[in-house]
Each structure stands twice: as structure tokens, then as C-alpha cells.
Amino acid sequence: MGEQGLFIYGIVPCDVEPTPDAEGVGDPPGEVAAIQHGELAALVSPVGLEEPLGRPADLTAYEGLLDGTAAVAPVLPVRFGTVVTGEEAVEDLLAAHHDQFAGALAEFEDRMQYTVHGRFDEQEFIGGFLAENGTAAALADQVRGRPEAESREERIRLGEMISQAVELRREAENRELIDAVGRYAVANAPRQPSHELDAVNVAFLVGADDEEEFIRTLEEFAEQRRELIRMRLTGPLAPYDFVSAHQLVK
């Protein structure tokens, strides 16, 4: 067996313990444990130092452990793939940032992340755009039925116009989403689009007392746009987009 290290998932209060059946990353999965120091603990599991990480199963295990933990206690996610040489290195990390981590955990007590992602229906968006923009509609008429090579310049111009329209509408939809549900969130974090037709992509930090109203208001927002935008809510999650702890572990 090669040299072993410890994969760090996140920082939690010292009284948090992983469930006996919790499984970590690696093949086979490592057993998850909590290493304590002061008021803190780090959730870790053994992993070979030469073992490649990054398989879909590894990311699923990482997120599953953190999201499950966040359902019962505050947690500070550590950047995926962080591996140290042993327990002493983990204790050094907790000691060096003890007060900062403890303060952040207090802020995340009874707060969870929800991520809202929506994508434009391509046909609906382009149809609406062409109905409102005469120049783009004329270009669409020019390329319709013509060979791609013959109409390349017009197609490029039309594509650029559509792309710009998507970007402008995306900015507007993100603002409107934040305006609509922001009152029920402690914080929000707009995310980079993951697809050229993304309409909204925002993470929200929501307190337990506001979850019901947050979801209800979001459902109303989505219903108003259901023909144009396919919207998805993910959560509750660990506060990945609101924690800087991972930046301290290089």
C-alpha cells in the first residue's frame, strides 16, 4: 500500500461526528472521521497520496458528505481535492485559523445554500427576439434556406446579435430574481453562466425561518416565466458559495 494522507472535506463544530456509515472519496472509499482541535473539528478520510482524485464518484462523495452535514450542523467546505499528510497537519490548520473558522461557523448556524439555475428555451427566446428586432429578423430571412457557406457572414452577424441579447436578458433576469427573493435570503452570490443559454444562475444563503417563503416566492417567479425559462432549484446545500475557508487551504 502506498503512502497515505488525509482528504479534508470541511470544518465543523467540535461536537459534530460523522455517521458510522459515512463514506469518503477514493476507491475503495475511505472511512470518514473527525479530528478535533479546540472548538473545531475537521471531517477527513484516508486517501493514497498517489491516488488520482476527481472522478465523478469522488465529487459526489465530497458533496454528499458536506450537504448531509449541513442539514444538521454548520459546516465550512474546504476546497475539493485538499489532501494533507496526516493528523498533525490538520490540527495545525485548525489551530492557525481557529477563531476565524469558529466565527464563520457561528454565522452559518441555521443557514443553508440554495442555488437557482435557469436556462432559456432556445426556440422561445429566439422567436421572441426576432419578433422584437427587425434587423435580426431580416438577417434570419436572408439566411433561411441558403447554404451555410453562402450565408456565412449573415449567420455570424445574427449569431452575435442573439448572443448579445441573451447576455443582456440574463443580466436582467438575475437582477429580477435577486429582487424577487432577496428579502428572504441573508446573502446572494451570482454565478458564472455554465451554458450559452443560461438565464439565471444565483446562489442564496437562506435562514431556516425563511426557507418556506423563499421557496414559495421562487416558485411564483418561475411560474411567471415557465414558457421561456426552465428553472431548477438545488438545495439545501452546504454554503459553498459563501465560505472563504477553502481559500485558506492551498
pLDDT digit string, tens, across residues 131-168: 999 998 988 888 887 777 777 888 889 989 999 999 99
Those residues whose C-beta lies under 8 Å from the C-beta of residue 207, and which sit 6 or more positions away, are 110, 111, 186
Average pLDDT over residues 81-88: 91
Q: What is the CATH number of domain 112-241?
A: 3.30.70.100
Average pLDDT over residues 63-78: 94
Give the whole-number percent of the chain exceeding pLDDT 70: 96
Domain boundaries, the chain: 4-109, 112-241
pLDDT at 167: 95
Average pLDDT over residues 38-61: 90
Q: Is the pLDDT of residue 69 over 60?
A: yes
Residue 21: pLDDT band with limits 50, 70, 90: confident
Q: What cell numbers appear for 46 in the block?
A: 484516508
Residue with cell 427573493: 181
Tell me the residue ranges of DSSP E strands in the chain.
4-13, 33-37, 40-48, 76-77, 83-84, 111-120, 187-190, 198-207, 229-237
| Torsion angle of C-alpha atoms 58, 60, 62, 65, degrees rounded to 10 | -140
Q: What cell numbers appear for 119 in the block?
A: 436556462
Q: Is the pLDDT of residue 178 over 90?
A: yes
Cα 147 from Cα 10, distance rounded (Å)? 55
